[in-house]
Amino acid sequence: MALLRLRKLAGAKGAFSIWKAVFELIVAKPIILVPFCILAVFETLALWFLSCSPHFPINYVMAPLIKSIWRRIYLHYPLIYELVPRVFYYAKIIIGVLLGSVTSAAAVLIVARSKAKEEVDIKKVFLFVLKRYVTLLLLSVILFVSVHYLMKQPQVLLFKYFRSFPKFLFIGPKFWFNVFLPVLTFILAIVLQGIFVYSVPFVIIKGKKLLAALLSGFVLFARNLIKTLLVVLVPMLLYIPVTILRNNAVFLADKFAPEVIMAILFLGILVGTVVVDCLVTVATTMIFIEATHEK
């Protein structure tokens, strides 16, 4: 028992001490930011494209889609800005699967080569990663499907329960949906990201196939459980203010201007894609290199 406590304490200390090395590496090798900036540019273009749905020539593509799935009214100002966050959610998933799988893998390879004191050529990095695109694509599909399904389950279960019962543990639905569910969703997001986070390094650095990378990633996550969860947690705390703004976007739009919604979504791209994803990727890749003795 004492040995287990010492291991947990060592994992917690290691999680916090790693940030100095992370920031030193990013400052020394700012090229690490390039893959995340590329992804952020594509997400921003998608956001702009969706916001222009009522306007020529984009309306030729988007107007029929919006009319068939939602309603014609959303093609008019200011209601278009209420629809954009919903559509942008799915756009981000598509971009994340098709392009994010490449950019995250490129960042992993840049970190690995930087730690090995090797020359980093961004063109060669992307060419190397693209050779493994099918594996990375399948990995991203598995990740997004798993996360999307599992993240929805607590809400589904609560809806089913409160259809039949007025309270759970003597507490009404307001607490469970407004307080418990957001906290549980946040914890689930951290755990799920931690479970899958080492699969890409196993594909890119170790050259493993899909199933071997997934299994090896699960094992490495279990062996570095506390350190990984804390390393994923710290950057994700930065996204909490963005989440609060997004949850109150309609209220803020009514109070100030509808365009506030676009500003919040763009802030989410900057914080989520450029900052949070970068910090998590660099930190976990450094843990991977240390744990697998890749020098």
What is the value of pTM for the model shown? 0.86
3-class secondary structure per residue, 88-145? HHHHHHHHHHHHHHHHHHHHHHHHHHHHCCCCCCHHHHHHHHHCCHHHHHHHHHHHHH
Q: Omega of the bond prior to 35 within 30 degrees of 0, cis?
A: no
CA–CA separation, 14 and 6 (whole Å): 12
Contact 214, 139 (CB under 8 A): yes
Inter-residue long-range contacts of 147-156, CB under 8 Å, 24+ positions, other chains counted: 147/189, 147/192, 147/193, 148/93, 150/188, 150/192, 151/185, 151/188, 151/189, 151/192, 154/181, 154/184, 154/185, 154/188, 155/181
Q: How far apart are the first and last CA of the chain?
A: 32
Closest CA to 227 of 150, 288, 146: 288
Contact 289, 115 (CB under 8 A): yes
pLDDT confidence of residue 6: 43
CA–CA separation, 239 and 279 (whole Å): 12
pLDDT confidence of residue 16: 64
CA 242 to chain centre: 13
**229 token code pair:** 């969860």
Query: 171 in helix, strand or coil?
Result: strand
Q: Omega of the bond prior to 258 within 30 degrees of 0, cis?
A: no
Provide block-wise average pLDDT over 10 residues at a time, the chain (295 residues): 47 68 92 96 95 84 84 81 90 93 95 91 94 94 86 84 80 80 86 92 94 94 92 91 88 88 94 94 94 68
CA–CA separation, 43 and 273 (whole Å): 9
pLDDT confidence of residue 272: 93
Tell me how crowded residue 200 is: count the other CB atoms within 10 A of its CB.
28
Q: What tens digit of pLDDT does each residue of 118-151 get?
A: 889 999 999 999 999 999 999 999 988 888 888 8
Tell me how crowded residue 195 is: count the other CB atoms within 10 A of its CB.
19
